[in-house]
């Protein structure tokens, strides 16, 4: 099978992925074999390929937003031809304290698709059968792919923030995840206030129904019930906190923050305001979000790349040159 393979991480301009002909992937015990129909390109892939995330394997096929068709290892629930999605969490140990207490997103020994095991920048991929998600009819492969990481995590962020229908919600930053989250919020009848840099992101937020759009440093004109931050910036977290009513919650959707600047506890956090982080996702998040995405006809903007141009796809993500999400079609 054809695949984009990483052996030595490096800057994407130096084309660290090479296109190779490999033996076809095989379904191991408890796995299904998928013919890959589409694979979304996530910013985390960029961090893996450029080596900001330490390598876990000598040779790796990246990609963790896989839409595939079952061609092997079929089960009664996942027959041959079933269309499924695979996300970043490719498995958990099922045994640790977190797995046993309904926090599988915090598992001590998770498997990461396209990082600790091979992913979807290939014609075929194997995945744990209990960690694939059957896709609702209404979602086509191309538009479902970007939902599988950015979409699910954005959805989880809304839950971590405790969003209730009709509330006033701030989105700080407006990239891949936020532009999907806003559509979920709108379907819940929420008023959405978007603080983001850049005219194009601001314009997109407006076109998707934001109540108010401003730059990252301008405070929304009303007190917010909830806020979600997407930028890897502690300054933005403090700005979000400063926009909350008493009892409000900031959910931080970022794996890494530079630092959180000193802030005034009496004025910003007292009054039972909360700061929470968002980590990974559970299978329940994925199933509920995908069902909802089909119901509200959530269709992310996509730009496609053939497998041979996997390096170019990553370079486009890095340079913010993609309108919406990048998707590889093998
Ligand atoms: Zn676990
Ligand atoms: Zn991702």
At 153, the pLDDT band (50, 70, 90 cuts) reads very high
Query: Please, what is the average pLDDT of the chain?
Result: 95
CA of 149 to the centre of ligand 1 (A): 20
At 143, the pLDDT band (50, 70, 90 cuts) reads very high
**In this predicted structure, what is the pLDDT of residue 172?**
95
Do residues 272 and 248 touch, judged by C-beta distance below 8 A? no
Residue 111 bridge partners (DSSP): 91
**In this predicted structure, what is the pLDDT of residue 292?**
95
Nearest to 327 by CA among 74, 64, 96: 64
Segment holding 115, helix H or strand E = none
Please write the tens of the pLDDT for every residue from 277-313.
999 999 999 999 999 999 999 999 899 999 999 999 9
Give the percent of the chain with pLDDT over 70. 99
Judged against a pLDDT cut of 90, whether residue 192 lies above it is answered with yes
Interatomic CA distance for residues 160 and 317, integer angstroms = 27
Nearest to 168 by CA among 271, 253, 245: 245
Tell me the mean pLDDT in the region 254-270: 92
Ligand nearest to the CA of 65: 2
CA of 314 to the centre of ligand 2 (A): 13
Measured in whole angstroms, how far is the alpha carbon of residue 200 from the centre of its chain? 21
3-class state of residue 54 by DSSP: coil
Do residues 87 and 63 touch, judged by C-beta distance below 8 A? no
CA of 70 to the centre of ligand 1 (A): 26
Do residues 271 and 246 touch, judged by C-beta distance below 8 A? yes
Ligand nearest to the CA of 317: 2
CA of 272 to the centre of ligand 2 (A): 32
Interatomic CA distance for residues 292 and 297, integer angstroms = 8
**In this predicted structure, what is the pLDDT of residue 256?**
83
CA of 327 to the centre of ligand 2 (A): 12
CA of 177 to the centre of ligand 2 (A): 10
Interatomic CA distance for residues 136 and 297, integer angstroms = 11
Please write the tens of the pLDDT for every residue from 196-223.
988 888 999 999 999 999 987 678 999 9
CA of 221 to the centre of ligand 2 (A): 32
Please write the tens of the pLDDT for every residue from 77-116.
999 999 999 999 999 999 999 999 999 999 999 999 999 9
**Ramachandran region, residue 272 (left: φ > 0; alpha: ψ -120 to 50; beta: rest):** left
At 265, the pLDDT band (50, 70, 90 cuts) reads very high
pTM: 0.93
CA of 283 to the centre of ligand 1 (A): 13
**In this predicted structure, what is the pLDDT of residue 269?**
97
Ligand nearest to the CA of 66: 2
3-class state of residue 195 by DSSP: strand
CA of 247 to the centre of ligand 2 (A): 30
Residue 214 bridge partners (DSSP): 195
CA of 150 to the centre of ligand 2 (A): 6
Judged against a pLDDT cut of 90, whether residue 231 lies above it is answered with no
Judged on CB neighbours under 10 Å (0-12, 13-18, 19+), 105 is buried
**Greatest mean pLDDT among 61-75, 195-209, 216-230, 252-266:** 61-75
Q: How far is CA 112 from CA 89, 109, 233, in A?
A: 5, 10, 25
**In this predicted structure, what is the pLDDT of residue 216?**
76
Do residues 122 and 62 touch, judged by C-beta distance below 8 A? no
CA of 167 to the centre of ligand 1 (A): 34
Judged against a pLDDT cut of 80, whether residue 158 lies above it is answered with yes
- The full DSSP string for 68-92 is EEEEES--SSS-TT-EEEE-SEEE-
Length of the chain in terms of residues written: 330
Interatomic CA distance for residues 112 and 48, integer angstroms = 11
Task: Report the DSSP pairing between strands 274-277 and 244-252.
Answer: parallel
| Residue 244, φ and ψ in degrees, nearest 5 | -90, 150
Ligand nearest to the CA of 88: 2
Measured in whole angstroms, how far is the alpha carbon of residue 256 from the centre of its chain? 14
Interatomic CA distance for residues 125 and 23, integer angstroms = 11
CA of 215 to the centre of ligand 1 (A): 40
CA of 102 to the centre of ligand 1 (A): 10
Interatomic CA distance for residues 3 and 221, integer angstroms = 50
């Amino acid at each position: 099978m054809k695949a984009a393979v990483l052996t030595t991480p490096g800057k994407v301009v130096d084309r660290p992925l090479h296109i190779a002909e490999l033996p076809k992937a095989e379904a191991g015990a408890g796995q299904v074999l998928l013919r890959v129909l589409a694979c979304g390109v996530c910013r985390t892939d960029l961090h893996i390929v450029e080596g900001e995330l330490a390598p876990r394997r000598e040779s790796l096929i990246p990609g963790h937003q896989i839409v595939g068709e079952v061609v092997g290892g079929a089960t009664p629930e996942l027959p041959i031809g079933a269309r499924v999605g695979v996300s970043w969490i490719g498995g958990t140990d099922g045994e640790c304290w977190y797995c046993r207490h309904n926090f599988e997103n915090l598992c001590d020994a998770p498997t990461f698709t396209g990082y600790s095991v091979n992913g979807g920048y290939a014609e075929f991929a194997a995945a744990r059968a209990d960690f694939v998600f059957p896709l609702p009819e209404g979602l086509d492969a191309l538009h479902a792919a970007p939902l599988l990481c950015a979409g699910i995590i954005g959805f989880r962020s809304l839950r971590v923030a405790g969003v209730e229908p009709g509330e006033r919600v701030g989105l700080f930053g407006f990239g891949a995840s936020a532009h999907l989250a806003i559509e979920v919020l709108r379907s819940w009848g929420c008023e959405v206030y978007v603080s983001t840099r850049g005219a194009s992101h601001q314009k997109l937020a407006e076109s998707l129904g934001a109540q108010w759009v401003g730059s990252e440093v301008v405070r929304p004109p009303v007190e917010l019930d909830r806020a979600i931050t997407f930028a890897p910036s502690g300054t933005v977290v403090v700005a979000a906190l400063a926009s909350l009513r008493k009892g409000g919650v900031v959910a931080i959707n970022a794996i890494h923050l530079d630092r959180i600047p000193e802030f005034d506890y009496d004025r910003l956090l007292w009054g039972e305001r909360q700061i929470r982080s968002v980590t990974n996702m559970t299978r329940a998040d994925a199933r509920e979000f995908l069902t909802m995405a089909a119901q509200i006809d959530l269709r992310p903007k996509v730009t496609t790349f053939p497998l041979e141009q996997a390096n170019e796809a990553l370079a486009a993500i890095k340079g913010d040159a993609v309108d919406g999400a990048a998707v590889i079609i093998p």
